[in-house]
Structure 1
Amino acid sequence: MEDYESFPGHPDPNDPYFLKTFLDLKRFQEKELDSEVFIVPGIYGLMEATWEGFGIETFSRILARPKQAKKLFDDRGKLALEMTKIFAENDAKAVWVFDDYGYKTGMFMSPRNYQKFVIPWIKRICTAAHKHDCKLILHSCGDIEPIFGDLVKAGVDAFNPIESTTANPEYDIFN
C-alpha cells in the first residue's frame, strides 16, 4: 500500500480538462444537433479501474485484507462521486459509469464484497446525479445477476449491456 499511496498518477476530478471537454461538446450539441440528442460524459467506476491497476492476482490478495480493499474502493468511489457531481451540476442529462463487474461465467468477486465495497458508492453516486435530475447509466460486462437487484435499489437508471451470452441459464434477457 505504500507504493499505492506514493503513486503520482491518481486522477484529479477537478482537472479543468474534464469539465471543459464536456462543456465544449455540450455547446456543440446545443448548436448543431437535434434537441433529442445529448452528450453523456463517461467516468470510470470502482471495480474495473481498481483491479486493472494491480492485476487480478494482486487484487485478489488485497481483497483478503479488508482495510486495504476498503481504502482502494473508497479512493475510487470518491473520484467517481466527485466527477459525477461536477457533470450533474453542469446540466449533464446522464452520466455513464464504465465498470466491469464480471465475466461470462461469474463475477470478479463475491456478491458480498460488491455489497460491502461497491454498492454503497454506487448509491451515493446515483443520489448525487439524481439531485440534479441526471440519470446514471452503468456499463458492466458479465453475469451481474447476483447483484442486479442491489444496483437497481442503489438507483442505477439504465444498464449497458445486458449480456445475453453469459453462462447463466436463468439470465434470459428475452423473458
Structure 2
Amino acid sequence: MSIKTALDNIFLRPSSRWGHTEYSLDYHTDYLARSVGLPADSPNLHVAAFDRFCFDMLWSTNDGLVNWAEAGRVTDMGHASYAADGSDQRQAKPSPFTSEAQVWDFNAVEEYGLPDFDEQVAAYEKIVVDSRAARPNTLLTGGCYTSLVSGAISSFGWDMLLLAASEPARLEPVLDSFFRRTMFFMKAWAKTSVEVVIQHDDFVWTSGAFMSPDVYRKIIIPRYAELWKPIHEAGKKVLFCSDGNFMEFAVDVAEAGADGFIFEPCNDFGFMADNFGRTKCLVGSFVDCRDITLGRRDQVLADIDRTFERLSDCKGAILAVGNHLPPNISGDMLDLYFEHLLPRLER
C-alpha cells in the first residue's frame, strides 16, 4: 500500500498495482484487533489495519471551521441505527422551514457565514500534514461534503427541498448560495498541499434523478465546473462522489471536469468502465455491501472477478465495496472478501 499507488491511479499514471480503499471498516473494531494482533483500544489499531488491508486512500472531506448547526438553521432528519450498538440512532426533529417561500428566501452564505480565509487554509493544511505523519502509507483526501444539493438537504430536509424544487427558477438562487459558500472552501483547499479533493454531493436517488434533468444540466453541473477550476489550477485532482444512481449525468459531470468518480453499485461498474475507464479514475467495484452482509459468498467472489475483468480496459482505479462495510458483516465474510481481493491488486 502507498500514497504513490493512490496518486498514480488517480492521475492515470502507470502503476504496478490497482489502488484500494474501504468505507466504515473502522466500525469492525474486534475484527481489526484480531487481524493485526493489537488490543481493540490500541491507538495504533486503525493505522495498522490500513496497512494490513492495503489501504492506499482514505475518503475524507471537511466542511470547515463553521458548524452549520451552531451558526444557523438546519433540519435534523434523524439517523438510523448503523453502529452495532445502535448508539448513532437519532430521532428526527421538526424542520425550522415550514414553507417553500422560506426556502426561496434562503441564502447559505448569509445564514452560516464564513471563517477567515487564511485561518481556514491553515486548518486544512494541518489536517493534511497530521495525516501524513500518522498514516504515511495512505493518502488522505481533502474536500467538501455539504456542497450544493447535500447542503440544501442539510438545511431544509427532503420535504421542503422537494417542494421548493417545483419552481427551478426560484430554487436556483438558493442553490447558487450553497455554490458560493462551497467555492470558498474549494479555494481554501486549493491553497493547501493536499493532492486530491473530493466533491461530495448526493444529487440523485437510488432510482436516479429526483428533479428535472434541466435542473441538473443547467443549474447544478455547470456550477460543479466552476468549483473545480481553482482545484485544477492548483494542479490537484477532483473526485466526484454521490450516493445513488447518477449514470444519466455521468457524462455531463465528466465533461464538467471531474477526474474520477466515487460511486455505489447502483451505478453499473461495467457502464462506468466502458465510458470512463480510459479517461477517469474509478473508485468502486461490482461488489455490493448487501451481498457481503447477507453472506452471499458466491456472488461476492464472482463480483470481485468481474471487477478485475473490466479493469483490463481501465487506466486508473481504486477498488472498494459500495457503499460501506456495515458493522454486522461477519468476520468470515470479511476474510473471504479480503483474501480474494488483495492478491489480485497487482497488475
TM above 0.5? yes
Q: Distance in 1 between matches of 2:154 and 2:237?
A: 26
Q: Distance in 2 between matches of 1:153 and 1:75?
A: 23
Q: Distance in 2 between matches of 1:75 and 1:111?
A: 20
Residue deviations 1:121-142 (CA, integer Å, cap 9, x gap): 1001122210001111111011
| Correspondence for 1:26 among 117, 128, 146 | 128
3-state SS, counterpart of residue 197 of structure 2: strand
Q: Counterpart of 1:119?
A: 221
Q: 1:94 to 1:50 in 2, by over 3 A?
A: same
Q: Counterpart of 2:143?
A: 42
| Correspondence for 1:58 among 160, 165, 182 | 160
Q: 1:131 to 1:79 in 2, by over 3 A?
A: same
TM-score with structure 2 length normalisation? 0.44
The residue identity in structure 2 corresponding to 1:106 is G
Q: 1:25 to 1:141 in 2, by over 3 A?
A: same
3-state SS, counterpart of residue 103 of structure 1: coil
Q: State which drifts further: 75-84 or 60-69.
A: 60-69
Q: Distance in 1 between matches of 2:188 and 2:213?
A: 30
| Correspondence for 2:202 among 87, 95, 100 | 100
Number of residue equivalences: 168
Q: Report sequence identity in percent.
A: 20
Q: 1:103 to 1:131 in 2, by over 3 A?
A: same
| Correspondence for 2:240 among 134, 138, 160 | 138
Q: Distance in 2 between matches of 1:147 and 1:46?
A: 16
Q: Distance in 2 between matches of 1:86 and 1:6?
A: 18
List gaps (5 residues or longer) in structure 1: none
Deviation at 1:144, TM superposition (A): 0.3
Q: Distance in 2 between matches of 1:153 and 1:119?
A: 9
Q: Distance in 2 between matches of 1:119 and 1:70?
A: 12
1:153 aligns with 2:255: yes
Residue deviations 1:55-86 (CA, integer Å, cap 9, x gap): 22221222233343111111111111221111
Structure showing greater radius of gyration is 2
3-state SS, counterpart of residue 27 of structure 1: helix
Q: Which runs of 4+ in 1 moved over 6 A?
A: none
CA contact (8 A) 1:91 1:132 kept: no
Q: Distance in 2 between matches of 1:143 and 1:129?
A: 25
Residue deviations 1:15-42 (CA, integer Å, cap 9, x gap): 66643332212222454543x6443222
The residue identity in structure 2 corresponding to 1:172 is D
Q: Distance in 1 between matches of 2:202 and 2:151?
A: 9
List gaps (5 residues or longer) in structure 2: 1-100, 272-347
